């Protein structure tokens, strides 16, 4: 970031190589990156690419410029906003870190920019402070302000010229808006930014096409992806406190699309009943308090399977048992569990075989994707372990069919699987603004149709019908967060016999409805609607009857 230095004898890149901080190959990569990102200085690129020790990098830069260096860490104990605004700190790449009397110490990422330094000096002089200049790294400045940044209430600031700040604003705004995913999508004449909030995709910004390459470069840089590769890549961003952000890129006809999955670090595992699970302790115990068996969560992608699995794990966990999870990636941290994250060269089945030699009591397998994993999971369940896993199917009964199609025998299916839970997530009405109304004719007809199809009778006389309104609390959507709707299939002895005998899904469903506590998804969904938690249109998005 400091190559435009007067009276320098050698380029900063050569100094960094001579100091042993970077290799010539890394210097070439940094220079190549700089060609497509001319707004960045070389030192900043080396810092961003994280290819050397930051303190040593700062030492070389400080010596080159003849400046005093300062490491900005958690010891900074002043409120910088009393002296400089957040925008001023970011735009000037300067951070006030110490005040003694009328003297304020300011760390600059580029102290050789005299115009910028004089601008900050005048700002502080107008407040009665003399300024002392230091040098630091831009990443250290951003580290000081990232936890207290102010972001737009609802939309991304499309007028922001600095790509680094723009991308930062996109991510921070998504966090503030409770988004689970960010979609950065190159289109023919623009770049569209959308957030998935409570399950729905919402367009929050459209940026000029001319900014696409810079946004792509910045996202790749902070995700530790290869800059020159335009094929599909996966990365991770760990620069935001309390969040680990998974990044996936895929090339399409207009460029590279990015999807950022926002995962909260160290979030508390939610209790089952808080997820919307039927508030029936006896049913929970019957479904999950098992041994030597397989429990399967089924739902399409993005419907909360992992969250529910961890709630089940939390319900079952005790100090005297060994819990091991195998996931790709680990999305929820559980301190009491031994969590294994598999890589590109390790399969679920391979990791599971190793885990079986680790004396586990309960094993969570992130997903059954193939026959090998299914066989290994079933064998684990048959040999003294409780295995929890997920699979992509439309409902609990169809899970039996899916496992069969993987080549698992009817006997193995019947002898190992004890509980199958299917779920969907629907948006909850905002508790601050939802509005009560009398049941309409269309609503009553819908409920009666469900009764006819399922044979389940609802108490319509006690229904609490509500509709969305919209307020500041919910961002004027009328909905706030999501709740789960569930169907629980507990496989009893007779159902096991039917599975072992090869009974069809139709026969299995008929028996389950008539003889067990099994209720189809639509029953729980309608009950939550009648309880004033959601609406019929929200149900219809997820379940077709």
**pLDDT tens, residue by residue, 226-253:** 988 878 998 988 878 778 899 999 999 9
Residue 368 contacts residue 377 (beta carbons within 8 Å): yes
Q: What is the pLDDT of residue 251?
A: 94
In total, the chain counts a number of residues equal to: 545
Q: Which domain holds residue 39?
A: 12-71+100-142
Assess contact for 531 and 458: CB atoms under 8 A: no
* Residue 531, CB-side half-sphere exposure with 13 Å CA sphere: 12
Give pLDDT, residue 279.
85
pTM comes to: 0.66
| 325 and 402 co-located in one domain | yes
- Cα separation, 295 vs 179, in Å, equals 30
Kindly report the three-state secondary structure assignment for every residue of 287-298: HHCCCCEEEEEE
| Residue 37, phi-psi category: left (phi > 0), alpha (psi -120 to 50), beta (remainder) | beta
Distant-in-sequence, close-in-space partners of 34: CB < 8 Å, separation ≥ 6:
40, 42, 45
Shared domain for 494 and 364, answered yes or no, is: yes
E-strand ranges in 299-416 read 323-327, 338-341, 362-365, 386-391
Rounded to whole angstroms, the Cα distance separating 341 from 164 reads: 30
Q: How many domains is the chain built from?
A: 3
Q: Kindly provide the residue ranges of all beta strands, DSSP E only, lying in 220-307, ordered along the sequence.
A: 233-237, 243-252, 255-264, 293-298
Are 130 and 104 spatial neighbours (Cβ–Cβ below 8 Å)?
A: yes
Q: Residue 199 CA to chain centroid, in angstroms?
A: 13
What pLDDT score was predicted for residue 37?
67
Question: Angle of helix 138-145 relative to helix 42-49, nearest 10 degrees?
Answer: 60
Same domain for 406 and 474, yes or no, is yes
Residue 310 domain-assigned (yes or no): yes
Which residues lie closer than 8 Å to 542 by C-beta, 6 or more apart? 424, 425, 426, 485, 525
**CA nearest to 531, candidates 452, 436, 465, 449:** 465
Residue 107, helix vs strand vs coil: strand
- For residues 23 and 137, state if they share a domain: yes
CATH of the domain at 189: 3.30.450.90
Judge if 237 and 290 occupy the same domain.
Answer: no
Does residue 362 belong to any structural domain of this protein? yes
432 shares a domain with 346 = yes
Domain annotation covers residue 240: yes
Q: Could you tell me if 187 and 277 lie in one domain?
A: no
Q: 190-214 burial, b if ≥16 CB within 10 A, otherwise e?
A: bbebbbbbbbeebebbbbeeebbeb
> What is the distance, to the nearest Å, from the Cα of residue 234 to the centroid of all Cα atoms in its chain?
14
Quote the CA–CA distance of 184 and 421 in Å, as a whole number: 34
**3-class secondary-structure state, position 262:** strand
CATH of the domain at 475: 3.40.50.300
Query: Is residue 475 located within the same domain as residue 344?
Result: yes
Residue 322's φ and ψ, nearest 5 degrees, are -105, 115
Largest Cα separation within the chain, whole Å, is 88
C-alpha 215/C-alpha 238 separation (Å) is: 18
* 8 Å CB contact between 269 and 332: yes
Last residue of a domain, one of 202, 230, 264: 264
Cα-to-chain-centroid distance, residue 466 = 31
Same domain? 361 vs 433? yes
Evaluated on CA atoms 310, 307, 433, 523, the torsion sign reads negative
Domain assignment of residue 529, yes or no: yes
Distance CA 194, CA 180 (A): 11
Asked whether residue 398 is assigned to any structural domain, the reply reads yes
Q: Residue-wise over 482-503: b if at least 16 C-beta within 10 A, else e?
A: bbbbbbbbbbbeebbebbeeeb
Domain shared by 285 and 428, yes or no: yes
Q: Cα 340 from chain centroid? A: 18
Q: Among 204, 239, 264, which residue terminates a domain?
A: 264
Contact predicate 421/307, CB 8 Å: no
Q: Are 275 and 483 in contact (CB under 8 A)?
A: yes
Inside any domain, residue 131: yes
**For position 347, what pLDDT does the model report?**
79
First-to-last C-alpha distance (Å) of the chain: 61
Secondary structure (DSSP) of 359-378:
--SEEEES---SHHHHHHHH
- Cα Rg for the chain, rounded, in angstroms? 28
Q: Is residue 83 part of a domain?
A: no
Edge-to-edge strand order for the sheet containing 255-264? 200-208, 190-197, 179-186, 255-264, 243-252, 233-237
Say which residues have a Cβ less than 8 Å from residue 128's Cβ, sequence separation at least 6. 102
Residues 425-463: b if buried by 16+ CB within 10 A, e if exposed: bbbbbbeebbeeeeeeeebeebbeebeeebeeebeeeeb
Name the nearest CA neighbour of 127 among 158, 81, 182. Answer: 81
| Residues of the chain where predicted confidence (pLDDT) is lower than 50 | 1-7, 147-154
Pair (39, 127) in one structural domain: yes
Q: Same domain for 306 and 188?
A: no
pLDDT given for residue 309 in this prediction: 92
| pLDDT at residue number 267 | 60
Please report whether residue 84 resides in a domain: no
């Amino acid at each position: 970031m400091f190559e435009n230095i007067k009276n320098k004898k050698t380029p900063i890149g050569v100094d960094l190589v001579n100091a042993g901080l970077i290799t010539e190959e890394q210097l070439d990569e940094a220079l190549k990156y700089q060609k497509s990102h001319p707004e960045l200085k070389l030192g900043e690129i080396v810092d961003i690419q994280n290819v050397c020790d930051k303190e040593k990098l700062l030492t070389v830069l400080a010596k080159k410029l003849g400046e005093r260096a300062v490491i900005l860490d958690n010891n900074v104990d002043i409120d910088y906003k009393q002296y400089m605004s957040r925008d001023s700190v970011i735009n000037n790449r300067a951070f006030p870190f110490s005040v003694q009397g009328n003297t304020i110490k300011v760390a600059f990422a580029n102290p050789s920019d005299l115009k910028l330094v004089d601008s900050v000096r005048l700002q502080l002089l107008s407040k009665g402070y003399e300024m002392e200049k230091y040098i630091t790294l831009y990443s250290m400045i951003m580290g000081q302000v990232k936890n207290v940044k102010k972001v737009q209430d609802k939309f991304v600031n499309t007028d922001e010229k600095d790509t680094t700040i723009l991308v930062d604003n996109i991510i921070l705004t998504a966090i503030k808006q409770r988004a689970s995913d960010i979609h950065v999508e190159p289109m023919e004449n623009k770049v569209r930014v959308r957030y998935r909030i409570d399950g729905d995709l919402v367009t929050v910004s459209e940026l000029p096409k001319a900014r696409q390459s810079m946004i792509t470069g910045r996202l790749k840089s902070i995700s530790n992806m290869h800059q020159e590769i335009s094929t599909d890549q996966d990365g991770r961003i760990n620069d935001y406190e309390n969040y680990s952000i998974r990044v996936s890129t895929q090339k399409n006809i207009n460029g590279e699309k990015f999807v950022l999955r926002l995962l909260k670090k160290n979030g508390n595992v939610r209790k089952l009943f808080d997820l919307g699970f039927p508030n029936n302790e006896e049913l929970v115990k019957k479904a999950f308090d098992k041994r030597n068996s397989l429990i399967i969560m089924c739902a399409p992608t993005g419907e909360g399977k992992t969250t529910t699995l961890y709630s089940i794990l939390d319900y079952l966990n005790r100090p005297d048992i060994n819990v091991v999870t195998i996931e790709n990636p680990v999305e929820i941290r559980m301190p009491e569990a031994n969590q294994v994250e598999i890589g590109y060269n390790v399969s679920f089945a391979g990791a599971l075989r190793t885990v079986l030699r680790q004396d586990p009591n309960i094993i969570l397998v992130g997903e059954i994707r193939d026959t090998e994993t299914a066989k290994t999971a079933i064998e684990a369940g048959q040999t003294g372990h409780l295995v929890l896993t997920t699979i992509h199917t439309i409902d609990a009964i169809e899970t039996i069919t899916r496992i069969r199609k993987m080549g698992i025998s009817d006997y193995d299916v019947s002898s190992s699987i004890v509980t199958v839970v299917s779920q969907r997530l629907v948006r909850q009405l905002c508790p601050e603004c939802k509005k009560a109304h009398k049941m309409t004719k269309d609503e009553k007809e819908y409920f009666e149709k469900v009764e006819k199809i399922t044979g389940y009778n609802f108490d319509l006389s006690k229904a609490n019908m509500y509709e969305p309104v919209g307020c500041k609390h919910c961002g004027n959507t009328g909905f706030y967060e999501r709740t789960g709707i569930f169907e629980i299939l507990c496989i009893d002895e007779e159902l096991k016999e039917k599975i072992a005998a090869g009974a069809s899904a139709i026969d299995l469903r008929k028996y389950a409805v008539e003889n067990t506590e099994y209720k189809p998804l639509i029953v729980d969904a309608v009950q939550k609607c009648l309880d004033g938690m959601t609406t019929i249109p929200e149900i219809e998005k997820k379940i077709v009857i």
